[in-house]
Structure 1
Amino acid sequence: MAVPARTLALRAARLFSLAVITLYPFAVWYGITHGRPDRVALALAGIFLLRLLVFRGLLPALNWLAKALALFGILLCAASWLLKSHHLLLWYPVMMSGLMLALFSASLFSRASMVERLARLREPWLSPRAIAYTRRVTQAWCLFFIINGGAALFTCLYGDMSLWALYNGVISYLLMGLLMGTEWIIRKRIQPGG
């Protein structure tokens, strides 16, 4: 059965916007170091607007988060362009960590932690041991977002564009991958039959 053209276009737009937002630090670095921060700010505002319009998450909380991040991105880019202050573009990774921290930590005070909600998408029934584990993983992510947000803040305040791009465009993603990989290894070891 053929996939409708509209569905394909939406998928392509989602993938494109995700790819560009992932490369955000390099786009900002390029724009600032090559004297084109205004153009980059406008282009990124357009990408964030596209993300706002096309994102569909698996959970309502993820929809809220993605839309909030896109809206903050639009506001930062627009303020940077209007105020001719390229330094504002550097704050997006800090806000991203702050919003992720808010979402994950708030879930610790609700019926199900964020990691539990994500785990239930794959495995609807979780044992009490698994629920406790997902709670600890959510806490680990909260700690990560505190450290990552602090490091991103430092790179904003330090003022070295190469350091800012390196941390926010490479190191933070590597650390995130390291945390995911470590958690996956631990989960496989503690799962029955794993």
Structure 2
Amino acid sequence: MSWRNLVVALLTLLYPFAVWYGQGHVEPRLMAALLAAVVLARIGANRTLASRGWLIGAGVLLLAVLWSNQSLPLKLYPVLVNAAMLGVFGWSLAHPPSVVERLARLTEPDLPPAGVAYTRRVTQVWCGFFVLNGAIALYTALWASPAVWSLYNGLIAYGLMGLLFAGEYLVRLRVKRRLHA
């Protein structure tokens, strides 16, 4: 992992807690520095259409914070991330190979047709996750307290992602056993 990716990962993990803590203590314009740091760390890291869309969205959120000095645009960042991930995974379904198939082929280049179908289904499940998670992130940004927003977007959402990863891994082991039996 490059230092840039490590910085982005760390800033992303700390972001919800910094926004929660900063509310009432720090002007939103100053809290926007954290989002600006994430944007600056990501610039040039990846030049895909999805990363450009994410950068534009993050830039719009930054401008909205700077203009309004309100925290809502900062709280919408997790919604943007889920929308970007949905875009990447959804695009790959329309333009195969799917994201999960590409990842699977890193360790299993000769993926059988049943494996391709399975990875497509997993990509669809992730799309559903991003829709649901993004909707909850939007709900918490618009109507929940800062503490609930931070708890969901900084802890619960990551826990749910981990559960989905672990659950998929267990299902994958079972599917592989069935295919090789």
Normalising by structure 1, what TM-score? 0.83
Residues 18 and 51, structure 1, Cα contact 8 Å, conserved in 2: no
Matched, 1:135 2:120: yes
Note the alpha carbon deviations across 1:53-98, whole angstroms, 9 max, x for none. 3x25xxx7xx443443344223312320232122111111112111
Note the alpha carbon deviations across 1:90-134, whole angstroms, 9 max, x for none. 111112111211221222122312211121122211100100100
1:89 is aligned to 74
Matched, 1:42 2:33: yes
Partner amino acid for 2:34? A
User: Which runs of structure 2 are paired with 1:35-184 in the superposition (5 Å)?
Assistant: 35-53=26-44, 55-56=45-46, 63-184=48-169
| Change beyond 3 A, Cα 1:22–1:65 | farther
Residues 93 and 123, structure 2, Cα contact 8 Å, conserved in 1: yes
Extract structure 1 runs of 4+ deviating beyond 6 A: none
Q: Structure 1: 5+ residue runs without aligned partners?
A: 1-9
Residues 42 and 81, structure 1, Cα contact 8 Å, conserved in 2: no
> Counterparts of 2:96 and 2:8 in 1: how far apart (Å)?
32
1:5 is aligned to none
Partner amino acid for 1:187? R
Give the fraction of aligned pairs with identical amino acids, expressed as a percent: 41
Shifted more, 134-143 versus 11-20: the winner is 11-20
> Counterparts of 1:110 and 1:47 in 2: how far apart (Å)?
29
Residues 42 and 78, structure 1, Cα contact 8 Å, conserved in 2: no
| Change beyond 3 A, Cα 1:85–1:70 | same
2:97 is paired with a residue whose SS is coil
| Change beyond 3 A, Cα 1:52–1:22 | farther
Matched, 1:13 2:16: no
1:48 is paired with a residue whose SS is helix
2:18 is aligned to 27
Note the aligned Cα RMSD (angstroms): 2.1
Normalising by structure 2, what TM-score? 0.88
Count residues with an aligned counterpart: 179
> Counterparts of 1:27 and 1:37 in 2: how far apart (Å)?
11
Which structure carries more relative contact order (alpha carbon 8 Å, separation 6+)? 2
Residues 89 and 127, structure 2, Cα contact 8 Å, conserved in 1: yes
Deviation at 1:14, TM superposition (A): 2.5
Residues 11 and 34, structure 2, Cα contact 8 Å, conserved in 1: no
